[in-house]
Copies of this chain bind each other. A is one copy, B any other.
């Protein structure tokens, strides 16, 4: 049984803050500052260029990838770190399209994170006439899978509502129709058990600054199923994905397996922070995590619905169809969230009317949840959000 009182000590949480936004940016792991200092001072500072060998920087993307892989049910040697999630979406989608060259439709849903759709739009335009991004409602995805579709590209957990797709069932349906799948795990990795290998997913991508607590702008990851790893064509064919990067040949030859999905020089300092963050997952069982996450989420829903009747649940009520976040709608959602943040309860807002709250058992307790609802209820009962200062929108919301 995972001891979540222990994991909580692995994070720095500011005094007076209840942090319900780990689904957007996880908090600072206590070990991260020291680990990053060590990378700067003992590795970069003392080893200089020799750090690439002596400190293992060159293997870091695969080494860290395997640690992330454990949390998402990936086979060893199938995950590599680097770049940003949008870049990894591009790589996965391009490779998936190349594996299905006779079809031209990418199927996705309007609950996907917009950047994934934008990346697909840019990529498909460059592929020329006939290529199409078909975007349907999340509920209509299953029915839209047919033999015209080249790639099914979905985010498993909806960034606004927390709605959870059935990865295994949709992947099976896709495969039966000859469709390749690309799964975005941005709101899944570290949030709930993911079983990429068991689901027979083809490609998966994700970021590490949310539930994995890697830090602002932490590197992304990409998974390629072993059956595709040697045939998937790298669209972003940079030197780190070359079979022999330091031979400096003039012609590209794709590297072995997942290594070919590397592009440029690895982000060593950012990966050091992420490595410290992954230490916080030592001894954590993903089943225990899911149970704790559900308990926190259910408690929150029950309490909010009892005490704040103006807030309308935007997440699926069925806990099996939800990730590790809960969202409520209110026309004054932005101002309400600002009032909450001013009282130390940090969630976030997504246009047009969604208040998002992430539940992260590694550092969040039921007491935190009850206290947060207490404050939310006060704000709603007394309309404490109705102040000019809470309505002024910041550039980033």
A residues in contact (CB < 8 Å) with B: 12, 14, 17, 19, 21, 24-25, 27-28, 32-33, 36-37, 40-41, 44-46, 48-53, 57-58, 82-87, 90, 94, 110, 113-115, 117-119, 121-123, 126-128, 135, 207, 209, 215-220, 234-240, 242, 246-252, 263-271, 273, 341, 346, 348, 350-351, 394-397
Contacts and interface: CB of A to CB of B under 8 A. Distances in A.
Contacts of A246: 351, 395-397
A395 B135 CA distance: 45
A264 B14 contact: no
Given A14-B48, A28-B41, 12 more contacts: A12-B45, A27-B45, A50-B346, A51-B216, A83-B83, A83-B84, A84-B238, A85-B264, A87-B263, A216-B269, A217-B268, A248-B351
Contacts of A44: 25, 27-28, 215-216
A350 B248 contact: yes
Given A90-B236, A122-B234, A252-B121, A40 B45 contact: no
Contact of A265 (B216, B240, B267): B216
Given A83-B83, A87-B264, A270-B217, A119 B19 contact: no
Nearest to A11: B45
Contacts of A49: 21, 24-25, 346, 348
Contacts of A207: 265
Contacts of A46: 14
A356 to B, nearest CB: 11
- How many chain copies? 2
Nearest to A393: B246
Contacts of A237: 118-119, 121-122
A219 B84 CA distance: 12
Contacts of A28: 40-41, 44-45
10 contacts: A12-B41, A25-B52, A28-B40, A33-B45, A113-B239, A117-B250, A118-B251, A119-B236, A121-B251, A246-B395
A57 B90 contact: no
Would you list the 10 A-B pairs with minimal beta carbon distance, nearest first? A84-B264, A86-B238, A122-B237, A115-B239, A216-B268, A118-B252, A86-B264, A28-B45, A217-B267, A52-B396
B48 A236 contact: no
Nearest to A47: B14
A114 B248 CA distance: 6
A114 B215 contact: no
